[in-house]
Structure 1
């Protein structure tokens, strides 16, 4: 049976898996900490040496990469690894079909095979136009964004970009103070500065300063404080995170009328599903003045699949082998 080797290479972890061609559930998933390997090829060798099949049964390799892939040298946004497309092809062999995708391009391809039970609707709107454009947004180590245009035949068209690095705007005094605080540290404040693990830490520190306290917690420490429920600043941090997420997604919808919906993935939001359901996320998304009625019908979903990036790689691998 023909297989694909698939990998979702992030800023913190590299997730490797195998999948039979034309199947989409990742098998033999291993999560390898990037810091344990000098480069991608060392991590790939570790996985291949310990998986159940040899390279002779692998016909396609699809890598999802946390950073732009249309560069001569591919570098990660939050990871020191780098390589060229030719180096990847040479490593696996010229007879193998190889594709390199941005990590959120891969999540975009996942929408082709995502099941209704893999998603939770946020808000009252849930009707999608299956031919309408979609946005995929996900906060984790960084902030990934991709725009997806469904196709009747062949893979979805996923428009490349680095939307997580757009400028962040503020709409009230609290948000003004957060941005002022971050400008003293970073000069320019992008959306990723608040919508990521680092972003949670930044929001917490800024809100603490508003209370006259100099205190910064790590993202795991904020998570632990939220579990205990005894830190008002941590609770306010998560709420502000969801409000910023709504504001950014509302801006995306204004940029592209995404009647196909907005799909929220990444490591943070699915972990706090109950919290986003009762948060000000949708109100912030729809807070677009005279354009509120334009934005309000757009449905938003949280993707609950454990490995949407790998599923997207599996889907793309099937298209890749069929085309070959």
Structure 2
């Protein structure tokens, strides 16, 4: 049997797995903290040494990268690993089918393979058209975005970009105050400055300051504070969802994604009931005369544990079949 070696390399963790070619059955999934390894190849070597599959049986290597992959030197947006395509080719050998794709490209390739049970609808999903374009967006260590164009044959087309770094636009007095606070920190304020783990911390700090309290706590601490009913934490999480809705609405205005918007990342799936109760959909639809265009667009939270790896497995099968 032929296998794919796949990895989802993020800002915080490197997730590795194996999958049979033409199947999305992941096995030997292991997660390594990036900070524990000097570089990518140290982590790969440890994984391969622990693998039960002979490397000769691996016909494809697909790695999803948290950052641009079309550069001479691949650097991660949120960790200090770096390497070239040639480095990867030399490490694995030219006889292997090798692909380095953006992590949100991988998520885009996963959508058709995810079971419906792992997609939690937020709002009405009755207008879903799976033949139409889709957006994927995910607050985590950073903020990733990709646009997916479905194809009847072959792999879906994933339009690359770094949409998490678009400018953040405030829409009311509260948001004006938040952006003014963030401008002192960052000068230019991007969507990632509020829609990420660090972004949630920024929102808490900004809202606390409005109450006359100088306090910053970590994203996990905010989660615990939400559970205990802390009003600043509750307000910060709701504002997180409001900004997410505003950015999602802007994406829909850019490409009318009747195939849905899919929210991934390490934060939102933890708060599925909170996002459903939040002002997320109201903020998404708050687009003036374009409200009627945005309102029918379905939104889902991806609840799968390893969607990026599933997307890599899908792409590996396509890579072997078409090269």
With normalisation by structure 2, the TM-score equals 0.99
Q: Deviations over 1:74-109 (max 9, x none)?
A: 000000000001110110111100001100110000
Whole-angstrom distance in 2 between the partners of 1:60 and 1:226: 44
Structure 2 residue ranges without an equivalent (≥5): none
The answer to whether structure 1 residue 184 and structure 2 residue 179 are counterparts is no
Task: Specify the alignment match of 1:149 in structure 2.
Answer: 149
- 1:258 alignment counterpart: 257
Map 1:13-24 → 2, pairs under 5 A:
13-24=13-24
Match of 1:300 in 2: 299
Alpha-carbon deviation of 1:227? Answer: 2.5
1:316 match: 315
Where in structure 1 are there 5+ consecutive unaligned residues? none
Q: Deviation of residue 237 (structure 1)?
A: 0.6
Displacement after TM superposition at 1:116 (Å): 1.2
Which residue of the partner structure matches residue 246 of structure 1? 245
The DSSP-based 3-state class of the residue aligned with 2:80 is strand
Deviation at 1:118, TM superposition (A): 1.3
Per the TM alignment, residue 49 of structure 1 is displaced from its structure 2 partner at its CA by: 0.3
The alignment covers a number of residue pairs equal to 323
- Measure how far apart 1:126 and its partner are: 3.3
Q: State the match for 1:46 in structure 2.
A: 46
Aligned mates of 1:290, 1:65 — CA distance in 2: 38
How far the C-alpha of 1:115 sits from its partner, in A, is 1.7
Deviant stretches of 4+, over 6 Å: none
> Paired residue for 1:115?
115
Distance, in Å, in 2 between the alignment partners of 1:73 and 1:127 is: 42
SS at match of 2:293: helix
What does residue 166 of structure 1 align with? 166
Alignment of 1:194-233 (within 5 A): 194-229=194-229, 231-233=230-232
Q: Quote the offset at 1:128 in angstroms.
A: 1.7
- 1:25 Cα offset (Å): 2.8
Deviation string for 1:142-172 (max 9, x for gaps)?
A: 0000000000111000001000000001111
Task: Measure the CA separation in 1 of the matches of 2:254 and 2:171.
Answer: 18
Query: Separation in 2 of the partners of 1:11 and 1:225?
Result: 25
Alpha-carbon distance, 1:54 to partner = 1.8
Q: Structure 2 CA distance, aligned partners of 1:174 and 1:313?
A: 41
**Per-residue Cα deviation, 1:225-253 (whole angstroms, up to 9, x for no partner):** 12322x11111110000000000000000
- Determine the C-alpha separation between the residues in 2 that align with 1:195 and 1:24: 30
SS of match in other structure, 1:80: coil
Q: Contact (CA 8 Å) 1:132, 1:258: kept in 2 or not?
A: yes
Distance 1:50 1:70, change over 3 A: same
How much has 1:127 moved relative to structure 2?
2.6
Provide the TM-score with structure 1 as the length reference.
0.98
Q: What is aligned with 1:72? A: 72
1:285 counterpart residue number = 284
> Could you say which residue in structure 2 is the equivalent of 1:193?
193
Q: Does 2:304 match 1:274?
A: no
2-structure distance, mates of 1:121, 1:238: 19
CA contact (8 A) 1:112 1:156 kept: no
The Cα shift of 1:125 comes to: 3.2
CA contact (8 A) 1:126 1:300 kept: no
Contact 1:129 1:260 in 2 (8 A): yes
Q: What is the alpha-carbon distance in structure 1 between the residues aligned to residue 3 and residue 68 of structure 2?
A: 26
